[in-house]
Structure 1
Amino acid sequence: MTTTAPDPAAPLVFDTAELGRSSGTTMHVALEVPAPAGLGLAGYAVPESSPLDVDVHLTAVSEGVLADGEVGAVAEGECARCLAPVQDALRVQVQELYAYEGSVTDATTEADEILRLSGDLLDLEPAVRDALVLAMPVTPLCRPDCPGLCADCGVPWDELPDDHVHETVDPRWAGLDKLRLADTDGESK
Protein backbone atom coordinates (compact mmCIF):
# COMPACT_ATOMS: atom_id res chain seq x y z
CA MET A 1 0.00 0.00 0.00
CA THR A 2 1.39 3.38 -1.00
CA THR A 3 0.81 6.23 1.39
CA THR A 4 1.36 9.88 0.66
CA ALA A 5 3.58 11.88 2.96
CA PRO A 6 1.71 14.34 5.19
CA ASP A 7 2.02 18.04 4.45
CA PRO A 8 4.48 19.39 7.06
CA ALA A 9 2.56 22.69 7.04
CA ALA A 10 -0.77 21.02 7.92
CA PRO A 11 -1.98 22.13 11.36
CA LEU A 12 -2.19 18.60 12.80
CA VAL A 13 1.18 17.38 11.48
CA PHE A 14 4.00 17.47 14.03
CA ASP A 15 7.74 16.97 13.57
CA THR A 16 8.95 14.42 16.13
CA ALA A 17 12.68 14.74 15.26
CA GLU A 18 13.46 16.24 18.69
CA LEU A 19 12.26 13.02 20.33
CA GLY A 20 14.91 10.98 18.56
CA ARG A 21 14.31 7.30 19.04
CA SER A 22 15.03 7.32 22.75
CA SER A 23 12.20 5.57 24.56
CA GLY A 24 10.60 7.76 27.20
CA THR A 25 11.46 11.09 25.59
CA THR A 26 8.35 13.29 25.64
CA MET A 27 7.20 16.37 23.80
CA HIS A 28 4.11 18.31 24.93
CA VAL A 29 1.93 19.95 22.27
CA ALA A 30 -0.76 22.39 23.41
CA LEU A 31 -2.22 24.64 20.75
CA GLU A 32 -5.32 25.76 18.94
CA VAL A 33 -5.54 24.87 15.25
CA PRO A 34 -8.23 25.28 12.58
CA ALA A 35 -10.45 22.23 12.08
CA PRO A 36 -9.95 20.32 8.83
CA ALA A 37 -12.85 19.92 6.38
CA GLY A 38 -15.31 17.05 6.75
CA LEU A 39 -14.89 16.53 10.47
CA GLY A 40 -18.25 15.02 11.34
CA LEU A 41 -21.44 13.37 10.17
CA ALA A 42 -24.14 14.50 7.75
CA GLY A 43 -26.04 17.32 9.43
CA TYR A 44 -23.73 17.46 12.47
CA ALA A 45 -20.06 18.37 12.29
CA VAL A 46 -17.23 20.57 13.49
CA PRO A 47 -17.29 23.50 11.06
CA GLU A 48 -14.21 23.78 8.86
CA SER A 49 -11.61 26.23 10.23
CA SER A 50 -13.35 26.46 13.63
CA PRO A 51 -10.90 26.10 16.54
CA LEU A 52 -9.66 22.70 17.68
CA ASP A 53 -8.03 22.72 21.11
CA VAL A 54 -5.19 20.17 21.00
CA ASP A 55 -3.37 19.10 24.17
CA VAL A 56 -1.27 15.97 23.62
CA HIS A 57 1.95 14.39 24.81
CA LEU A 58 4.10 12.73 22.16
CA THR A 59 6.24 10.03 23.73
CA ALA A 60 8.94 7.99 22.00
CA VAL A 61 8.49 4.27 22.63
CA SER A 62 10.39 1.28 21.24
CA GLU A 63 8.09 0.84 18.21
CA GLY A 64 7.30 4.47 17.45
CA VAL A 65 5.66 7.53 18.99
CA LEU A 66 2.66 7.38 21.29
CA ALA A 67 0.27 10.34 21.00
CA ASP A 68 -1.82 10.68 24.15
CA GLY A 69 -4.04 13.58 25.17
CA GLU A 70 -7.26 15.48 24.57
CA VAL A 71 -8.86 17.41 21.76
CA GLY A 72 -11.73 19.84 22.18
CA ALA A 73 -14.08 21.19 19.51
CA VAL A 74 -17.58 22.57 19.04
CA ALA A 75 -19.89 20.57 16.79
CA GLU A 76 -22.91 22.17 15.13
CA GLY A 77 -25.95 20.82 13.36
CA GLU A 78 -29.67 20.47 13.77
CA CYS A 79 -31.90 18.53 16.12
CA ALA A 80 -33.01 15.26 14.55
CA ARG A 81 -36.53 15.72 15.95
CA CYS A 82 -37.43 19.41 15.62
CA LEU A 83 -34.69 20.73 13.29
CA ALA A 84 -33.65 23.45 15.77
CA PRO A 85 -29.96 24.42 15.74
CA VAL A 86 -27.75 22.30 18.01
CA GLN A 87 -24.29 23.17 19.29
CA ASP A 88 -22.26 20.88 21.56
CA ALA A 89 -18.80 21.23 23.08
CA LEU A 90 -16.92 17.97 22.60
CA ARG A 91 -13.80 16.93 24.53
CA VAL A 92 -12.30 13.59 23.52
CA GLN A 93 -9.34 11.43 24.48
CA VAL A 94 -6.86 10.63 21.75
CA GLN A 95 -4.40 7.79 22.19
CA GLU A 96 -2.66 6.36 19.17
CA LEU A 97 0.65 4.63 18.43
CA TYR A 98 2.48 5.86 15.33
CA ALA A 99 4.96 3.19 14.25
CA TYR A 100 8.44 3.99 12.96
CA GLU A 101 9.12 3.10 9.34
CA GLY A 102 10.83 -0.28 9.22
CA SER A 103 9.87 -1.22 12.79
CA VAL A 104 8.74 -4.68 13.87
CA THR A 105 5.13 -3.52 13.47
CA ASP A 106 5.61 -3.64 9.68
CA ALA A 107 5.86 -7.41 9.92
CA THR A 108 3.29 -7.93 12.68
CA THR A 109 0.42 -5.66 11.59
CA GLU A 110 -1.48 -4.90 8.42
CA ALA A 111 -0.92 -1.49 6.84
CA ASP A 112 -4.37 -0.22 7.88
CA GLU A 113 -4.22 -1.49 11.48
CA ILE A 114 -1.80 1.10 12.81
CA LEU A 115 -0.81 4.64 11.95
CA ARG A 116 2.75 5.19 10.84
CA LEU A 117 5.23 8.03 10.98
CA SER A 118 6.39 9.46 7.67
CA GLY A 119 10.04 10.08 8.42
CA ASP A 120 9.77 12.19 11.58
CA LEU A 121 6.31 13.57 10.70
CA LEU A 122 3.30 12.50 12.76
CA ASP A 123 -0.13 13.26 11.24
CA LEU A 124 -2.58 13.49 14.15
CA GLU A 125 -5.59 14.26 11.91
CA PRO A 126 -6.78 10.64 11.42
CA ALA A 127 -6.74 9.97 15.18
CA VAL A 128 -8.49 13.27 15.94
CA ARG A 129 -11.10 12.62 13.24
CA ASP A 130 -11.83 9.12 14.56
CA ALA A 131 -12.10 10.26 18.18
CA LEU A 132 -14.37 13.23 17.43
CA VAL A 133 -16.66 11.42 15.00
CA LEU A 134 -17.09 8.51 17.40
CA ALA A 135 -18.01 10.97 20.19
CA MET A 136 -20.72 12.61 18.07
CA PRO A 137 -24.30 11.48 18.58
CA VAL A 138 -25.82 9.72 15.59
CA THR A 139 -29.08 11.50 16.43
CA PRO A 140 -28.26 14.96 17.79
CA LEU A 141 -31.02 16.47 19.93
CA CYS A 142 -31.60 20.02 21.16
CA ARG A 143 -32.56 18.42 24.49
CA PRO A 144 -33.24 14.82 25.55
CA ASP A 145 -37.01 15.28 25.86
CA CYS A 146 -37.50 17.14 22.55
CA PRO A 147 -41.01 16.29 21.33
CA GLY A 148 -40.16 16.95 17.67
CA LEU A 149 -42.57 18.16 15.00
CA CYS A 150 -46.31 17.60 14.56
CA ALA A 151 -46.55 14.89 11.89
CA ASP A 152 -49.56 16.59 10.27
CA CYS A 153 -48.58 20.26 10.11
CA GLY A 154 -44.80 20.16 10.64
CA VAL A 155 -44.79 22.79 13.39
CA PRO A 156 -42.57 22.08 16.43
CA TRP A 157 -44.66 20.71 19.29
CA ASP A 158 -43.07 23.28 21.63
CA GLU A 159 -44.73 26.07 19.60
CA LEU A 160 -48.20 24.47 19.56
CA PRO A 161 -50.89 24.71 22.25
CA ASP A 162 -51.39 21.70 24.52
CA ASP A 163 -54.77 20.92 22.93
CA HIS A 164 -53.41 20.87 19.36
CA VAL A 165 -54.98 18.05 17.31
CA HIS A 166 -55.73 17.25 13.69
CA GLU A 167 -58.92 15.41 12.85
CA THR A 168 -58.01 12.37 10.85
CA VAL A 169 -60.46 10.14 9.10
CA ASP A 170 -59.55 6.55 8.50
CA PRO A 171 -59.70 6.18 4.70
CA ARG A 172 -61.52 2.87 5.13
CA TRP A 173 -64.47 4.76 6.67
CA ALA A 174 -64.39 7.74 4.29
CA GLY A 175 -67.10 6.23 2.05
CA LEU A 176 -69.45 5.82 5.02
CA ASP A 177 -68.68 9.36 6.15
CA LYS A 178 -69.83 10.62 2.73
CA LEU A 179 -73.13 8.73 3.17
CA ARG A 180 -73.57 10.25 6.63
CA LEU A 181 -72.96 13.76 5.25
CA ALA A 182 -75.40 13.11 2.35
CA ASP A 183 -78.02 11.92 4.84
CA THR A 184 -77.67 15.05 7.01
CA ASP A 185 -77.94 17.23 3.88
CA GLY A 186 -81.22 15.44 3.00
CA GLU A 187 -82.67 16.07 6.50
CA SER A 188 -81.99 19.79 6.42
CA LYS A 189 -84.16 20.34 3.32
Structure 2
Amino acid sequence: MQQKSPSSTAKHRSPFVFDLRELGRRAGTLREYRRSVPAPAGLGFDLIGVPEGAPLVLELRLESVTEGVLVTGTVRGPLTGQCGRCLEPVTDEMVVDLCELFAYAASTTDETTDKDEVHRVDGDLIDVEPVVRDAVVLALPWTPLCRPDCAGLCPECGQRLDDLPADHTHETLDPRWAALADYDPKN
Protein backbone atom coordinates (compact mmCIF):
# COMPACT_ATOMS: atom_id res chain seq x y z
CA MET A 1 0.00 0.00 0.00
CA GLN A 2 1.39 3.38 -1.04
CA GLN A 3 1.66 5.99 1.71
CA LYS A 4 0.60 9.57 1.03
CA SER A 5 3.11 12.29 1.77
CA PRO A 6 2.31 14.40 4.88
CA SER A 7 1.82 17.56 2.78
CA SER A 8 -0.57 15.73 0.43
CA THR A 9 -2.59 14.41 3.37
CA ALA A 10 -2.70 17.84 5.03
CA LYS A 11 -3.75 19.47 1.76
CA HIS A 12 -6.51 16.89 1.28
CA ARG A 13 -7.89 17.72 4.74
CA SER A 14 -8.19 21.44 3.98
CA PRO A 15 -11.85 22.50 3.67
CA PHE A 16 -10.89 24.40 0.50
CA VAL A 17 -9.84 21.19 -1.27
CA PHE A 18 -12.36 19.24 -3.36
CA ASP A 19 -11.95 15.61 -4.38
CA LEU A 20 -12.81 15.16 -8.06
CA ARG A 21 -13.29 11.39 -7.97
CA GLU A 22 -17.01 11.95 -7.32
CA LEU A 23 -17.20 14.26 -10.34
CA GLY A 24 -15.39 12.18 -12.93
CA ARG A 25 -13.84 13.45 -16.15
CA ARG A 26 -16.76 13.11 -18.55
CA ALA A 27 -17.45 16.59 -19.94
CA GLY A 28 -20.77 17.96 -18.79
CA THR A 29 -20.95 16.19 -15.41
CA LEU A 30 -21.32 18.50 -12.46
CA ARG A 31 -21.61 18.56 -8.69
CA GLU A 32 -22.80 21.35 -6.45
CA TYR A 33 -21.31 21.98 -3.02
CA ARG A 34 -22.17 24.20 -0.08
CA ARG A 35 -19.51 24.44 2.61
CA SER A 36 -18.84 26.70 5.54
CA VAL A 37 -15.10 27.06 6.00
CA PRO A 38 -13.00 29.18 8.39
CA ALA A 39 -11.43 32.21 6.74
CA PRO A 40 -7.67 31.97 6.35
CA ALA A 41 -5.37 34.62 7.82
CA GLY A 42 -4.57 37.76 5.84
CA LEU A 43 -7.81 37.97 3.87
CA GLY A 44 -7.95 41.74 3.54
CA PHE A 45 -6.17 45.09 3.84
CA ASP A 46 -5.20 47.31 6.76
CA LEU A 47 -8.61 49.03 6.86
CA ILE A 48 -10.95 46.13 6.06
CA GLY A 49 -11.01 42.38 5.69
CA VAL A 50 -12.53 39.07 6.68
CA PRO A 51 -11.54 38.19 10.25
CA GLU A 52 -9.38 35.08 10.52
CA GLY A 53 -11.53 32.06 11.38
CA ALA A 54 -14.80 33.80 10.45
CA PRO A 55 -17.19 31.53 8.53
CA LEU A 56 -16.98 31.79 4.76
CA VAL A 57 -19.86 30.12 2.94
CA LEU A 58 -18.79 28.55 -0.35
CA GLU A 59 -21.61 27.76 -2.78
CA LEU A 60 -19.77 26.18 -5.68
CA ARG A 61 -20.58 24.28 -8.83
CA LEU A 62 -17.83 22.04 -10.18
CA GLU A 63 -18.34 21.10 -13.81
CA SER A 64 -16.15 18.75 -15.78
CA VAL A 65 -15.22 20.27 -19.14
CA THR A 66 -12.90 19.04 -21.88
CA GLU A 67 -9.85 20.94 -20.57
CA GLY A 68 -10.42 20.54 -16.83
CA VAL A 69 -12.87 21.52 -14.12
CA LEU A 70 -14.79 24.79 -14.25
CA VAL A 71 -15.55 26.17 -10.79
CA THR A 72 -18.34 28.76 -10.54
CA GLY A 73 -20.29 30.05 -7.58
CA THR A 74 -20.20 32.53 -4.72
CA VAL A 75 -18.33 33.18 -1.50
CA ARG A 76 -20.20 34.85 1.34
CA GLY A 77 -18.65 36.18 4.54
CA PRO A 78 -18.44 38.96 7.12
CA LEU A 79 -16.25 42.04 6.79
CA THR A 80 -14.88 44.14 9.63
CA GLY A 81 -12.66 47.18 9.60
CA GLN A 82 -12.53 50.94 9.95
CA CYS A 83 -14.06 53.77 7.99
CA GLY A 84 -11.45 55.32 5.72
CA ARG A 85 -12.65 58.85 6.58
CA CYS A 86 -13.50 58.85 10.30
CA LEU A 87 -11.94 55.58 11.57
CA GLU A 88 -15.20 54.38 13.14
CA PRO A 89 -15.76 50.60 13.11
CA VAL A 90 -17.31 49.18 9.94
CA THR A 91 -19.08 45.83 9.60
CA ASP A 92 -20.64 44.44 6.47
CA GLU A 93 -21.24 41.22 4.59
CA MET A 94 -19.69 40.52 1.22
CA VAL A 95 -20.81 38.26 -1.60
CA VAL A 96 -18.24 37.54 -4.30
CA ASP A 97 -18.72 35.60 -7.54
CA LEU A 98 -16.16 33.02 -8.66
CA CYS A 99 -15.42 31.58 -12.08
CA GLU A 100 -12.17 29.70 -12.58
CA LEU A 101 -10.88 26.87 -14.76
CA PHE A 102 -8.62 24.22 -13.23
CA ALA A 103 -6.76 22.57 -16.13
CA TYR A 104 -6.14 18.83 -16.34
CA ALA A 105 -2.52 17.73 -16.68
CA ALA A 106 -1.52 17.22 -20.33
CA SER A 107 -4.60 19.08 -21.61
CA THR A 108 -4.25 21.69 -24.35
CA THR A 109 -4.80 24.43 -21.76
CA ASP A 110 -2.08 22.95 -19.54
CA GLU A 111 0.34 22.75 -22.44
CA THR A 112 -0.36 26.22 -23.86
CA THR A 113 -0.34 28.31 -20.68
CA ASP A 114 2.34 29.30 -18.18
CA LYS A 115 2.21 27.79 -14.69
CA ASP A 116 0.84 30.97 -13.11
CA GLU A 117 -1.77 31.71 -15.79
CA VAL A 118 -4.28 29.03 -14.87
CA HIS A 119 -4.85 26.78 -11.86
CA ARG A 120 -4.18 23.08 -12.25
CA VAL A 121 -5.90 19.89 -11.12
CA ASP A 122 -3.53 18.13 -8.70
CA GLY A 123 -4.17 14.42 -9.16
CA ASP A 124 -7.82 14.10 -8.17
CA LEU A 125 -7.87 17.30 -6.09
CA ILE A 126 -8.40 21.01 -6.61
CA ASP A 127 -7.60 23.64 -4.00
CA VAL A 128 -9.91 26.65 -4.33
CA GLU A 129 -8.29 28.67 -1.52
CA PRO A 130 -6.10 30.78 -3.85
CA VAL A 131 -9.13 31.49 -6.06
CA VAL A 132 -11.25 32.48 -3.04
CA ARG A 133 -8.43 34.64 -1.66
CA ASP A 134 -7.95 36.48 -4.98
CA ALA A 135 -11.68 37.04 -5.50
CA VAL A 136 -12.32 38.29 -1.96
CA VAL A 137 -9.31 40.62 -1.76
CA LEU A 138 -9.99 42.09 -5.21
CA ALA A 139 -13.63 42.76 -4.25
CA LEU A 140 -12.80 44.67 -1.06
CA PRO A 141 -13.32 48.45 -1.11
CA TRP A 142 -10.10 50.51 -1.10
CA THR A 143 -11.72 53.06 1.18
CA PRO A 144 -14.45 51.48 3.31
CA LEU A 145 -17.01 53.94 4.62
CA CYS A 146 -19.26 53.79 7.68
CA ARG A 147 -21.87 55.44 5.46
CA PRO A 148 -21.68 57.05 1.99
CA ASP A 149 -21.98 60.63 3.27
CA CYS A 150 -19.40 60.33 6.10
CA ALA A 151 -17.80 63.77 6.52
CA GLY A 152 -14.56 62.43 8.02
CA LEU A 153 -12.42 64.13 10.66
CA CYS A 154 -11.79 67.82 11.35
CA PRO A 155 -8.25 68.52 10.10
CA GLU A 156 -7.63 70.91 13.03
CA CYS A 157 -8.89 69.04 16.11
CA GLY A 158 -9.30 65.47 14.81
CA GLN A 159 -12.92 65.11 15.97
CA ARG A 160 -15.56 63.42 13.79
CA LEU A 161 -17.25 66.16 11.76
CA ASP A 162 -20.57 64.29 11.95
CA ASP A 163 -20.48 64.65 15.77
CA LEU A 164 -19.70 68.38 15.70
CA PRO A 165 -22.12 71.27 15.15
CA ALA A 166 -22.57 72.47 11.59
CA ASP A 167 -20.86 75.80 12.38
CA HIS A 168 -17.73 74.13 13.82
CA THR A 169 -14.65 76.18 12.91
CA HIS A 170 -11.19 76.95 14.22
CA GLU A 171 -9.70 80.40 14.14
CA THR A 172 -6.50 80.17 12.24
CA LEU A 173 -4.05 82.98 12.05
CA ASP A 174 -1.81 83.39 9.06
CA PRO A 175 1.75 82.88 10.40
CA ARG A 176 2.91 85.94 8.47
CA TRP A 177 0.63 88.12 10.62
CA ALA A 178 1.17 86.22 13.90
CA ALA A 179 3.56 88.87 15.25
CA LEU A 180 0.78 91.47 14.99
CA ALA A 181 -1.53 89.43 17.26
CA ASP A 182 0.16 90.90 20.34
CA TYR A 183 0.41 94.40 18.87
CA ASP A 184 -1.37 97.04 20.92
CA PRO A 185 -1.54 100.42 19.16
CA LYS A 186 -1.98 102.24 22.52
CA ASN A 187 1.49 101.28 23.69
Shared topology, TM-score over 0.5? yes
Q: What's 2:146 paired with? A: 142
Q: What displacement does 1:184 show?
A: 4.4
Provide the rounded CA distance (Å) in 2 between the counterparts of 1:87 and 1:122: 32
Provide the rounded CA distance (Å) in 2 between the counterparts of 1:130 and 1:174: 54
Counterpart check, 1:60 vs 2:64: yes
2:102 paired residue among 94, 98, 103: 98
Paired letter, 1:36: P
Taking a change above 3 Å as real, the CA distance of residues 168 and 68 of structure 1, as seen in their structure-2 partners, is: same
Cα RMSD, aligned residues only: 1.5
Taking a change above 3 Å as real, the CA distance of residues 71 and 185 of structure 1, as seen in their structure-2 partners, is: farther
Provide the rounded CA distance (Å) in 2 between the counterparts of 1:143 and 1:52: 24
Q: What displacement does 1:102 show?
A: 2.0
Paired letter, 2:87: L
Provide the rounded CA distance (Å) in 1 between the counterparts of 2:12 and 2:148: 42
CA deviation profile, 1:88-137 (whole Å, cap 9, x unmatched) = 11111101000112222222111111011111111111111111111110
Paired letter, 1:34: P
Provide the rounded CA distance (Å) in 1 between the counterparts of 2:16 and 2:161: 43
Describe how 1:1-16 pairs up with structure 2 within 5 A: 7-16=11-20
2:46 paired residue among 42, 48, 53: 42
Counterpart check, 1:18 vs 2:22: yes
Taking a change above 3 Å as real, the CA distance of residues 13 and 185 of structure 1, as seen in their structure-2 partners, is: farther
TM-score (norm 1): 0.90
Q: What displacement does 1:182 show?
A: 2.6
- Identity across matched positions, percent: 52
Paired letter, 1:31: R
Q: What's 2:3 paired with? A: none
Which consecutive residues of structure 1, in runs of 5 or more, have no partner in the other structure? none
Paired letter, 2:184: D
Q: What's 1:183 paired with? A: 184
CA deviation profile, 1:146-189 (whole Å, cap 9, x unmatched) = 000111111101111222111101112223x24xx332462xxx
Provide the rounded CA distance (Å) in 1 between the counterparts of 2:38 and 2:186: 71
TM-score (norm 2): 0.91
Q: CA contact under 8 A between 2:153 and 2:161: conserved in structure 1?
A: yes
Which consecutive residues of structure 2, in runs of 5 or more, have no partner in the other structure? 1-6
Counterpart check, 1:174 vs 2:178: yes
SS in 1 for 2:13: coil
Counterpart check, 1:161 vs 2:165: yes
Computing the radius of gyration from Cα coordinates, the structure with the larger value is 1
